Amino acid sequence: MTSVDAPTGQPGGGKSTAARRFRRRDLNVDTISFLAVFLVVPVVVYIIFVVSPFIQAMYFSLTDWSGFTATMNFIGVDNYVKLFQDDTFMKAVSNSVTLAVVLPIVTLGIALVFATLVTVGGPSHGAIRGLRNSSLYRVISFFPYVIPAIVIGLIWQQVYDPNTGILNGLLRAVGLEQFKAFAWLGEIKTAMPAVMFVIVWGLIGFYMVLFIAAIKGVPAEIYEAARIDGAGRFRTAISVTIPIIRDTIQTSYIYMGILALDAFVYMAALESGGGPANSTLVISQQLFTTAFTKGQFGYASAMGVVLAIVTMLFALIVFTVNRLTGGKNEVSE
């Protein structure tokens, strides 16, 4: 005979109810475990290693802490008032902003051109493909990125050397004697462009590979349709490629801009003193010097807070511009 559960009056009802309760309990345990491992732990780590140091830096920026004593006096916003009256710091801010504006545009622009050439820049007939030997171009372009930034800076410092550098040697070899003993990093007009060139050279390969992966995700039928409609390579890049991989470009722009706002490693290797008339001095350099050379950690912390705010404003501007210009994965007509 089939057992009847008294409360429910259904065969096996008691067992069914118990099973449902057990499954609900298991589901709750699984959910809690998932949240604990994949949400709570990362948030705790983020708070400890990112949020907490930033809050500490904000507090230190309101003090006169020297960095080497246990005592500090609260001085309010005096450090910030002093910052915006400091011509050297304002020059560093100007240089950092210049890098954040110029470097992403140049680096991502060149990387996008190269990525387009090695993916869809091949013959205008037949299957959609890149230039011949495109795999070789990818390896060559990515090679500088695998070299540490400090090593890149030291290598190019030797290349730019006025007397023994290979750059001046090549220019003199083709008859340009005016570049004999020319100090590329010692002239105000050429110091910043020379440093920018090194940063662009070192990072193009990474963003080229990033864009290649994004373009490879675009269905070939879209490019074939554009070809049938008579669109040339430039029109296809503007109306098809860029709109579809727009999110990738936005992310790359923010990442590149943040790197440009820092640029400490490249500047420390190429222009450790800030360049002629501080023409290459950036905020991170001035912060380091103020903290570890002058022993003014409170003042340096104020510089760090300003740098963080500038970085967040940069990201916000990029997101806003992308949104206002229709940042969606849509192909223009």
pLDDT tens-digit map of 320-329 = 988 888 765 4
The mean pLDDT value of the chain amounts to: 85
Q: Which class is domain 78-324?
A: mainly alpha
List the one residue out of 262, 307, 275, 59 whose CA is nearest residue 149.
262
CB atoms < 10 A from the CB of 250, how many? Answer: 17
Is 326 within 8 Å of 240 (Cβ atoms)?
no
pLDDT (tens digit, 9 = 90+) per residue, 65-90?
988 888 899 999 999 999 999 999 99
pLDDT digits (tens, 9 = 90+) for 222-269: 988 888 888 888 888 888 899 999 999 999 999 999 999 988 999 999
Q: Any residues with CB less than 8 A from the CB of 277 and at least 6 apart, and which?
A: 188
pLDDT digits (tens, 9 = 90+) for 133-188: 777 777 788 888 888 999 999 999 999 999 889 999 999 998 888 888 899 999 99
Task: Quote the CA–CA distance of 207 and 257 in Å, as a whole number.
Answer: 13
Which pLDDT score, from 0 to 100, does residue 18 have? 54
Q: Which value, to the nearest 10 degrees, does the dihedral of the CA atoms of residues 108, 111, 113, 116 take?
A: -120
**Distance separating alpha carbons of residues 61 and 44, to the nearest angstrom:** 25
Q: At what angle do helices 87-120 and 246-262 cross, to 10 degrees?
A: 150
Contacts 24+ apart (CB under 8 A), 130-137: none
pLDDT digits (tens, 9 = 90+) for 88-116: 999 999 999 999 999 999 999 999 999 98
Local structure of 17: helix, strand or coil: helix
Place of tokens 């450090």: 79
- Scan for tokens 């910043």, then name that residue: 192
* Token code pair at residue 80: 């910030």
Compute the radius of gyration of the chain from its Cα atoms.
28
Q: What is the pLDDT of residues 9-39, one digit of tens each?
A: 455 555 556 555 545 555 577 777 777 777 8
